[in-house]
Amino acid sequence: MANNNRDGKMSLEEAGRKGGEATARNHDKEFYQEIGKKGGEATAKNHDKEFYQEIGRKGGEATAKNHDREFYQEIGQKGGEARSNSDNDDGKMSREEAGRKGGEARARQRRDK
C-alpha cells in the first residue's frame, strides 16, 4: 500500500518501511548483532552512569504501571529456577531472592503511595 503525499512522491514513512524491508532481506542475524554492539559501545562512550540510572528508573516505572504483582512473582520464580539450575555458586544473592526482595519492595512502594 503506497502512502503518497499530495505531489505523488513517496512519504518518509513509506520510504523508511521499504528501506527497512530491503535491509532485512539483505542482512542476517549477525549483521544486526554487530550494529547493535557498535551502537551500544557508542552510547556507552557518550553517556555516564547517571544516564543509565535514569533510563533504568523510567523503564522500571513504565513496567510497574503495566504489570501487576503476579507478573513480578512469575518472573522472579522463573529467574530463581534458572539460577538454581546453573552450577554458578559465586556467593551472590540468588536471582530468586533478588526477585522476591525486589517484588516486595515494589509492592511496598505501591501500597505507600
User: Looking at this protein, which amino acid is placed at residue 100?
Assistant: R
What's the rounded Cα separation, in Å, for the pair 53 and 61?
A: 12
pLDDT tens per residue, range 29-59:
999 999 999 999 999 999 999 999 999 999 9
N-term to C-term CA, the chain: 48
Reported pTM? 0.41
Verify that 94 and 60 share a domain, yes or no: yes
Count of domains for the chain? 2
Of 4 and 109, more confident: 109
Q: Are 103 and 69 in contact (CB under 8 A)?
A: yes
Verify that 60 and 110 share a domain, yes or no: yes
Verify that 59 and 113 share a domain, yes or no: yes
Match 505507600 to its residue by C-alpha cell.
112
4 is a domain residue: no
Verify that 61 and 110 share a domain, yes or no: yes
What's the rounded Cα separation, in Å, for the pair 65 and 57?
A: 12
What's the rounded Cα separation, in Å, for the pair 61 and 55?
A: 10
pLDDT tens per residue, range 85-98:
766 556 677 777 88
Q: Which domain holds residue 31?
A: 10-46
- Tell me what pLDDT residue 46 has: 94
pLDDT tens per residue, range 58-70:
999 999 999 998 9
Verify that 61 and 106 share a domain, yes or no: yes
- Tell me what pLDDT residue 17 has: 95
41 is a domain residue: yes
Cell of 81: 529456577
- Tell me what pLDDT residue 79 has: 85
Verify that 29 and 80 share a domain, yes or no: no
User: Looking at this protein, which amino acid is placed at residue 26?
Assistant: N
5 is a domain residue: no
Verify that 74 and 41 share a domain, yes or no: no
| Dihedral sign of CA atoms 53, 59, 65, 67 in order | negative
